[in-house]
Structure 1
Amino acid sequence: MKIACVSIYDPKREKDFGVYTHHWIPTLESQFESVDYIHNFRHPLTYPTIVARAVYYKKLLKKYYSPRTDAILVRDQGRQLSRKLSKLNIDAVLSLESPAAQPIAYVDTDKPIVFWESGTFAALVDFYPYYRRSTMCDRTFEDGLANEKSALERCRLAVYHSEWAAQSAIQTYGIDPQKIRIVAPGGNFESNFSIDDVDAVINARPSDRCKLLFLGVDWERKGGALAVQVAQQLNDAGLPTELSIVGCDPPADEPIPDFVKPLGFIYKWSPEGREKMVKLLSESHFLILPTIADCFPLVFGEVSAFGLPSLSTKVGGVPYAIKDDWNGKTFALEANADEYCAYIMNLFMNYQAYKELARSTFQEHETRLNWRVATKMVKQLISELV
């Protein structure tokens, strides 16, 4: 089966497509006879209008304006995409991660279209801190909704990472639930561990002290302050605890307790970075990420490859990533450090239960939270349309 893979980003460039480049794209390519990438859209005629609108909304009105969501740009992408698709020998079109700016929104093609997204634009508004409706200009909000609705109407199938995202599409746009499927993503860092390897890693973790890992690039949104509070209370309760922080740094104007170990950003695809990450993920007891807004953090799939349970919140698509007491635990957004500590302490007092949780976490990776399983499922869905 031959497909065209469409995005506003270049899936082959990490600078554009981010961490997806390392595992999602190579795994996706392995499932199909050929994959033609379409992403290089040019807008010489519409660019002056976009620049003028950016100045007007950002400089004069002090409002958030998204050029990539502007309908004039997305419609132009649709025209370009239509021409490019007409020249390709393909069976289907797969649109990847371009929320509210899918080039397929206004495309003209007779090939079946499937798009694969982590969330909807509608669900992001007033959910992510930088997507506040009060600071967003009307054009970005209205065009974002219109583009997404058109993309959903044109596609034969919409694949989302979670039930949360799927329900947003159904409730906001009135999309037929039969048109929607849910496929969880994988991570972008693999252990290549066997079950015996993971058992050895789990058994090597000490039962008399706790190692927590905070892994995120946004300290505030990912709940860094609460992670520190949890570590502090565990230490106060008599369980020696260390919190390693990767991806960001605690606020510079606040004292850093001795038990907090800021490690900065680790580029995990370099040999040195990989070695550091394997050590951290193998030796830690829990990933703690009390996020206040997320669609489906890929990190949950990454850490599960090491048998590392995740502690997070019941927001967005997180509850679809973490199955309570199977590969971690989700807590109410309002939960305080006491609730996290009680859960951790209970498992340390019954350490065999912790080991069983860690083993089932690895099982969840092997059966669901990896790109091999995800891309195979999407391939099957596409083949049913061709």
Structure 2
Amino acid sequence: MRAAVLTESDPNNMYAFSGTVFFALRELAQRSDHFVCYLVGDRGNSLKFFLRQLRLFWTQRSLRQPRIEIRYFRHLDKKSILKTLDRDGIDILYNFVFSEDDGICAEASVPIVYLSDGTYAVTRGLFSEPRPRTEEMRRAKEFSERRMILSADLCLFSSEWAARSAVTDYGRSAEDVKVVRYGANLNVIPNALEVSNVARFKPKDAPTILLIGKGGSDRFEEKVGPAIEAVEELRRSMPSARLLIVGFSDVDRKTIPDYVDLMPFVSKQSKLGQLQLAEIYRQADVFFLPTSADCTPIVLCEAMAFGLPIVSTRVGGIADYVVEGRNGYTLELGSSRLQLAAALQAVLQDRVVYQRLALKSRQMFEEEFNWREFGNRVSDLVHERWLDGASG
């Protein structure tokens, strides 16, 4: 099968879409006879572009990324992309979170599979928009989203929350909308035996509560304030508990309580960064994500890979990834510091409960929430719908 993907994100760049494009397309490429990426976007300065591609080439080699042929389109040129699609003899075209494609997928002569973690209908009220949109811009975005969802032959979403929106908000037939779980954006992952052995000695007497995010000092309070308050409350009954926050820069340490440890952003672009992140997860006792806005936080899959119980707010598609009482606990958005602290305590105060949650968390990762299963699921759906029938 000759496959292609239409995207705005470089498949060799671990920073793109938090690494999700890198890992998702790796799995799709491995299951294709030939895989091409139609990458739309301005390359910018030629020298900077060359140096970036050189760096990404070595990243590709060091992280064992399969070779993906890339065709660059400086601008969204529908006519040129459709011609290239025909010339390349593509059998199936994936569209990865690129609904504003100027109708390319609607006019393509091959089957279209649209992959996303949300729809505009459910995310526009969840996230603050990166730049102010006029009402006309919002209508254009909504039009593009509707056209993409209705014209794709198959829509694959990372959660029931997003898939349900495609059906209820956009009128797509439920039989053409499927859920395919995402995985951990890490290459360094322990085996199940190691996770089981480590879980035997947890939770530690001085438990580490881990929160991983990304941002600067301007959004620090907004993103991690509830976590700091919850751990402060938890320390009334567990005075040795500590909160480790990873991923925020330029934060004034003087404003942070002494029970909070800070680490800057850790890049997944290198082996060293991958190893460092693995050690951070390995040393933690519980993963904490009291977020106010998220679709499918990949950090949840990463926490599962290391057998960490999870406590999170129930927003976006999180309820698919944190199953109440199975691998952790979820709380309503706006839950008080007392409620968040109580959920953390429920995980940490009983070793039997903790180990049950930890082992189930790892089991969920192995059975469904990993990129290999993502690739298998997508491949099965594609073959079931098109290739098996053609070969028969």
Q: TM-score, normalised by structure 2?
A: 0.83
**TM-superposed deviation, 1:103:** 5.5
C-alpha distance in structure 2 between counterparts of 1:155 and 1:200, whole Å? 46
Q: Which residue of 2 aligns with 1:183?
A: 180
C-alpha distance in structure 2 between counterparts of 1:192 and 1:319, whole Å? 23
C-alpha distance in structure 1 between counterparts of 2:369 and 2:117, whole Å? 14
**TM-superposed deviation, 1:190:** 4.2
Is 1:96–1:115's contact at 8 Å kept on the other side of the alignment? yes
Identity of paired residues, percent? 24
**TM-superposed deviation, 1:326:** 1.6
Is 1:4–1:35's contact at 8 Å kept on the other side of the alignment? yes
**TM-superposed deviation, 1:3:** 0.9
Offset from partner CA, 1:307-353 (integer Å, 9 cap, x none): 01221111111111211122221110021121122222233332111
Is 1:212–1:288's contact at 8 Å kept on the other side of the alignment? yes
Offset from partner CA, 1:259-310 (integer Å, 9 cap, x none): 1011111113433323322222112111111110111011111111100122
Offset from partner CA, 1:55-110 (integer Å, 9 cap, x none): xxxxxxxxxxxxxxxxxx9x954333221111122221111122x32455554222
- RMSD across aligned positions (CA): 2.5
Change (3 A) 1:151 1:385: same
Flag structure 1 segments of 5+ consecutive residues without an equivalent. 44-72
Change (3 A) 1:176 1:283: same
Which runs of structure 2 are paired with 1:1-386 in the superposition (5 Å)?
Answer: 1-14=1-14, 16=16, 18-40=18-40, 77-98=77-98, 100-102=99-101, 105=104, 107-130=106-129, 135-218=132-215, 219=219, 223-249=223-249, 252=252, 255-386=255-386
Q: Which residue of 2 aligns with 1:58?
A: none
C-alpha distance in structure 2 between counterparts of 1:139 and 1:78, whole Å? 22
**TM-superposed deviation, 1:21:** 4.7
Flag structure 2 segments of 5+ consecutive residues without an equivalent. 44-72, 387-392
Change (3 A) 1:112 1:238: closer
**TM-superposed deviation, 1:131:** 6.3
**TM-superposed deviation, 1:221:** 8.8
Letter in structure 2 aligned against 1:146:
F
Is 1:222–1:291's contact at 8 Å kept on the other side of the alignment? no
Is 1:78–1:106's contact at 8 Å kept on the other side of the alignment? no
Moved over 6 A (4+): none
Residue aligned with 2:294, SS = coil
Residue aligned with 2:255, SS = coil
**TM-superposed deviation, 1:17:** 5.1
**TM-superposed deviation, 1:245:** 0.9
C-alpha distance in structure 1 between counterparts of 2:100 and 2:272, whole Å? 37
Letter in structure 2 aligned against 1:110:
S
Is 2:6–2:95's contact at 8 Å kept on the other side of the alignment? yes
Offset from partner CA, 1:173-193 (integer Å, 9 cap, x none): 211111100111112014432
**TM-superposed deviation, 1:34:** 1.5
